[in-house]
Every structure is written in C-alpha cells, then in structure tokens.
Amino acid sequence: MPFKTEQEAFWAGAFGTQYIGRNESSGLLASNLNFFACALRRAARIGSCVEFGANIGMNLRALKLLYPGLAARGIEINADAAAQLAQLVGPENVFLGSIFDAPDGQQADLALIKGVLIHLNPEMLAHTYRKLYDATRRWLLVCEYYNPTPVAIPYRGHSDRLFKRDFAGEMLDMFPALSLVDYGFAYRRDPAFPQDDVTWFLMEKRA
C-alpha cells in the first residue's frame, strides 16, 4: 500500500512485525491495567474506546478488564499485528492502514494513543491531532515520551524514527474545546508496574 511517509512504511514492514514479540506478556498486561486505572481515575464510566496504533491490543485488553463490556476499535498499520488485534475486538472493529487514512465519523467515549505519536513524521502531527480530536466524544488520553521542545533521538539504530515533544500541549493549543483533566508519569524502574517512561495526559472535550 502507498504511504505518505517513511515512518509508516517502517512500522508496516518487518520492524513492525518484530515489535509484536516485544509487546506481549502477562507482566505488561498487569502494568497496563494499573496504568489505565490511574490515568483514567478522573474519567466517567467509559463504554467505548478507539485506539490509534493499537498493535495486537495489549492496551485494549487491559481496558476491557477495567471496563467490562467495553466496545473497542483499533487502528493498526501492521498486517500481522492487526490480525491478532482482530481476534480480540473482531475484524469489523479493526482498520488496517495508516492513522492518516483512518475513516472519520465514528466517535467513541475515549480516544487513546500510547507510544505512537513519538514515531510519526512531525509534519503529519497536526493531521493526526485532528483525527484524535474528531474521534472522541468526550475523553482523550495521550501517553507519550515528553519533552518541552521538539527533539529527535536515535531509535534502535535508526534515525528519524522517534521524536519527543509536548504533544498534549500542542493539542490543547490547537483545540480550545479541550481541557486538561489530569496528567502523570509512569517510570520504567517502577518495582511493581513498570512502563516505558511514559508521560500521560487525560483531556476532556467540551460539547
């Protein structure tokens, strides 16, 4: 399939498939359950969620435990990961393709992105922010590496594949109807429930 950026092709290909093996374990599921219980503690009951860059669904698995009966959808660019995601949420709830091409119009109570914005081409961020904003009915959870100013850093021997910046701050500036509800940090050295040094921001979309 044609892609707009090098980063999309990178994650759709062999590197994205290899990533699956680093993203599946019972320990990660436990850490994710603790993570979302904390990050969403100030949100109302959530009945539906769409995740941008869902991979095999480890985040959605945790959310389904936290919110039984959750209607979950996922957007995933890697075909191998999307096939496993479909086993969790049903093939009708998986969009296989780039976030940039994901269909609009179907909102969920929560739009989630975790460890994905950091890997997108910075020139496509405004487009992605709009996709996230339009996808949520009320809650938006952004969980990424944070830096007060934009910076690119090497990623597993590759350049231009990982970028840090204030993603949530840029969204708050871009959309006046968004307000910051809560935020926090999860540390990779947490002795019980480690995460990958992720800073999270829970935002609410006012009607």
One digit per residue, pLDDT tens: the chain, 207 residues?
Answer: 578 899 998 889 888 888 887 777 899 999 999 999 999 999 989 999 999 999 999 999 999 999 999 999 999 999 999 999 999 999 999 999 999 999 998 999 999 999 999 999 999 999 999 999 999 999 999 999 999 999 999 887 777 789 999 999 999 999 999 999 999 999 999 999 999 999 999 999 997
d(CA 198, CA 142): 10
Full set of structural domains in the chain with CATH: 6-205 (3.40.50.150)
Total Cβ atoms within 10 A of residue 37: 14
d(CA 132, CA 11): 19
Q: Which two tokens stand for residue 169?
A: 């701050």
